[in-house]
Amino acid sequence: MTTASLPHGHTARRVLRLSLALLLAALSAPLLAANPPPAVSNIPATPAPSDPLAAMAPVELATPDSAPIAEQLQALQAASAAPSTSTRVKTVLQRAFALLGTPYRWGGSSPDGGFDCSGLVGYVFRSIGIDLPRVSRAMANEGVAITDRTALAEGDLVFFGRRGRVDHVGIYVGDGKFLHAPRTGRDVTVSSLTSGYWAQKYMEARRVAVGG
């Protein structure tokens, strides 16, 4: 079947997924060469698909909880190019962005089964050998508190909640954006920390030491 014969929505989504897959591959090469991922026994290994698009779940183009795909790609490029970001933090960001489009599942902690918010964050940090508590409330006690929102840096954990109680977590990716697993019916995505729903629910941030 040729591209011209595909329905318009399917063609657009396939092109966008291919763009994201190619960008991830290009940005991953120097990082993986400088900092090969450690073996992590509690993350199940999955065989590499023959089709590069098979590894990327569909990314919604626009939802109340997500930035348009162009903004997500810009966030990935900016985070990877940030001169102040260490190689280890860039590795965290690479692995987080590779999970864009993975479905939300309450209690989920793997790409195959889906993620909830803390399952996603825990999975990404375990991939570089850092174990975090399983729930967002406990994660909010890790690392060093960042009290000034303008001092946030790529790789920081950002927390949200209501009535003074943390109930959501994501990974800050720079430029006022963070990556997270929002809620049932949504996929792993990039959202704004400076406006809209999540800006109103923001509570605090923590910086976990990841090394150079």
Helix 87-97 crosses helix 8-34 at what angle (to 10 degrees)? 160
Helix 69-81 crosses helix 8-34 at what angle (to 10 degrees)? 10
- DSSP state for residue 108 in the 8-state scheme: -
Structure tokens at 25: 């591959």
Whether 91 is catalytic is no
Q: For the chain, how far is it from start to end, CA to CA, in angstroms? A: 47
Whether 168 is catalytic is yes
Say which of 17, 90, 177, 180 is annotated catalytic: 180
Say which of 17, 88, 168, 206 is annotated catalytic: 168
Token pair 């994660």 is found at: 139
List the 157-162 sheet strands across, edge first: 144-145, 202-207, 157-162, 165-174, 177-180, 189-192
Compute the distance between CA of residue 129 and CA of residue 124 in angstroms, rounded to an integer.
9
Say which of 27, 76, 98, 117 is annotated catalytic: 117
Structure tokens at 47: 């065989």
Burial class for 61, CB neighbours closer than 10 Å (0-12, 13-18, 19+):
middle
Positions annotated as catalytic residues are 117, 168, 180
